Amino acid sequence: MVTKQRVEAWVEDYVRAWRTGAAKDITALFTADAEYHERPYTTDWIGREEIVEGWLGREPWQQGGWTFEWSLLMINGDTAAVQGTGVYKELGTFSNLWTVTFDQRGKCTVFRMWNNEV
C-alpha cells in the first residue's frame, strides 16, 4: 500500500534528480523495467536505462532556471495522482498531471504524465 509519505518522498527525489541531472539520482527512482510515458508528446521510454538517457537528453530544457510546485491529488492502491506546475524561464509554464505506480520498495514501475503548456 502506498502512503502519502512515500509519495511525498518520491516526488521530492524526482525534483532533486531533475535539478541535479545525475544519472544515479534518476536511476534511484525507477525499477529496472519501469515505463515512462508522456503526452501529448510521444514519449515512451521503457526500462530504466532508456529513462535515464531520455531524461538526460532534456537537460537543455532547464537552461535559465525553473521551479516546480505540486500537490498530491489521491492514492489508490499502489498508484498516486499528482498535479504539478513547472515554470521554465526558457520554455514557459506547464501544467502536469502524473500517475505514478510504485512497487513494494517505493520505486516507480509506471510513470504517466499529461503535460500541457499554459
Q: 20: number of CA atoms within 13 Å, CB side?
A: 14
What does the alpha-carbon distance between residue 6 and residue 103 come to, in Å, rounded to a whole number?
11
Task: Choose which CATH entry (3.10.450.50, 3.40.930.10, 3.65.10.10, 3.90.580.10) describes domain 4-117.
Answer: 3.10.450.50
Give how far Cα 78 sits from Cα of 2, 42, 62, 73, Å.
Answer: 5, 25, 30, 14
Q: pTM here?
A: 0.92
Q: Are 49 and 35 in contact (CB under 8 A)?
A: no
pLDDT of residue 32: 98
Alpha carbon dihedral 116, 78, 66, 117, in 10-degree steps, equals 0
Residue-level pLDDT, tens digit, the chain, 118 residues: 899 999 999 999 999 999 898 999 999 999 999 999 999 888 999 999 999 999 998 887 777 889 999 999 999 999 999 999 999 988 889 999 999 999 999 999 999 999 988 8
Q: Give the domain ranges of the chain.
A: 4-117
Q: Are 30 and 107 in contact (CB under 8 A)?
A: yes
